[in-house]
Chains A and B, each alone.
Chain A
Amino acid sequence: MPVQIYHTEDTMTVLLGGEIDHHSAKRIREEIDDTAQRAHPDVLVLDFRDVSFMDSSGIGLVMGRYSLMQELGGALKVINLSGHIKKVMKLAGLDRLAVMENGGTGK
Chain B
Amino acid sequence: MRAINEMKLVFKSRSANEGFARTAVSAFVATLDPTVEELSDIKTAVSEAVTNCIVHGYRESIANVYITAAIYPGGRVEIKIRDRGCGIEDIDQAMEPMYTSCPGEERAGLGFAVMQSLCDKVRVTSKPGKGTTVTLTRQISSRGGDNE
Contact = CB atoms under 8 A, between A and B. Distances in A.
Interface of A: 19, 21-23, 25, 29, 53-57, 59-61, 63-64, 83-84, 88, 91-92
B44 A88 contact: yes
A59 B114 CA distance: 11
Contacts of B106: 25, 29, 60-61, 63-64
B114 A91 contact: yes
Given A60-B106, A83-B37, A21 B18 contact: yes
Interface of B: 15-16, 18-19, 22, 37, 40, 43-44, 47-48, 51, 54-55, 106-108, 110-111, 113-114, 117
Query: Which of A19, A29, A56, A84 is packed against the most chain B CB atoms within 10 Å?
Result: A56
11 contacts: A22-B54, A53-B40, A53-B44, A53-B47, A56-B108, A56-B111, A60-B106, A60-B108, A63-B106, A84-B40, A91-B117
A22 B110 contact: no
Contacts of B37: 83-84
B13 to A, nearest CB: 11
A91 B54 contact: no
Contact of B110 (A19, A21, A56): A56
Binding site secondary structure of chain A: helix
Contacts of A64: 106
Nearest to B51: A22
Given A22-B51, A55-B51, 19 more contacts: A19-B19, A21-B15, A21-B19, A22-B55, A29-B106, A53-B43, A56-B107, A56-B110, A56-B111, A56-B113, A57-B51, A60-B106, A60-B107, A60-B108, A63-B108, A64-B106, A84-B40, A88-B114, A92-B110
Contacts of B117: 91
B48 A56 contact: yes
A55 B40 CA distance: 10
Contact of B51 (A21, A54, A63, A84): A21
Which residue, A19, A55, A60, has most C-beta atoms of chain B within 10 A?
A55
Contacts of A22: 15, 18, 51, 54-55, 107
